[in-house]
Amino acid sequence: MNPTKRQKNKKGLNETVNLIPMINLIFLLLIFFLLTGVISKKDNYTIEKPISKFGEESKNLNEIVILTINSKNQVYYEDNLISLSDLNQIINSKEKKYIFEIDKNAKSYEFVKAIEEINKQNIKKIFLRVEKSEEKND
């Protein structure tokens, strides 16, 4: 064995490519994009709320039940499609606020039927979520 031959095959630290900084940078970028990216739940429906100049902002958002009627006249409760007969099971407390989100293109028939089901439970206050109109006073 010739010792000079063995030394020629060895590369020094300056001659090799150091991949550790590049790997660190890639992991840092991956962590950055995972932390700053927005993960949101995709809605099964979109609502175009009716516009009203009489809308008021609700102060107390405790104990609310939001029922949604989309433009296809489908009723949703907590992002689940329900039938009007299921409303009796949902409505079980008079202390809760019942808020309807209704698409402005929905038929009023489903809304009236839902109100009739709620009235059977002797609940008298029902709220409707609307978009507040921006009126300009000149």
- 24 with 76, same domain? no
**For position 94, what pLDDT does the model report?**
56
> Per residue in 55-75, pLDDT tens?
666 666 667 778 888 888 888
Length of the chain: 138
> Per residue in 73-115, pLDDT tens?
888 887 788 887 777 777 765 567 778 888 888 888 888 888 8
**For position 20, what pLDDT does the model report?**
92
- What is the arithmetic mean of pLDDT over 4-14? 61
**For position 138, what pLDDT does the model report?**
47
- 58 with 26, same domain? no
Is position 44 within any domain?
A: no
* Residue 3's pLDDT band (cuts 50, 70, 90): low
**For position 24, what pLDDT does the model report?**
96
Is position 76 within any domain?
A: yes
- 100 with 125, same domain? yes
Is position 74 within any domain?
A: yes
Asked whether the beta carbons of 82 and 45 are under 8 A apart, the reply is no
- 58 with 116, same domain? yes
- 89 with 55, same domain? yes
- 110 with 64, same domain? yes
**For position 25, what pLDDT does the model report?**
96
Q: Whole domain around residue 96: which residue ranges?
A: 51-132
- 123 with 84, same domain? yes
Is position 42 within any domain?
A: no
Give the CATH number for residue 82: 3.30.420
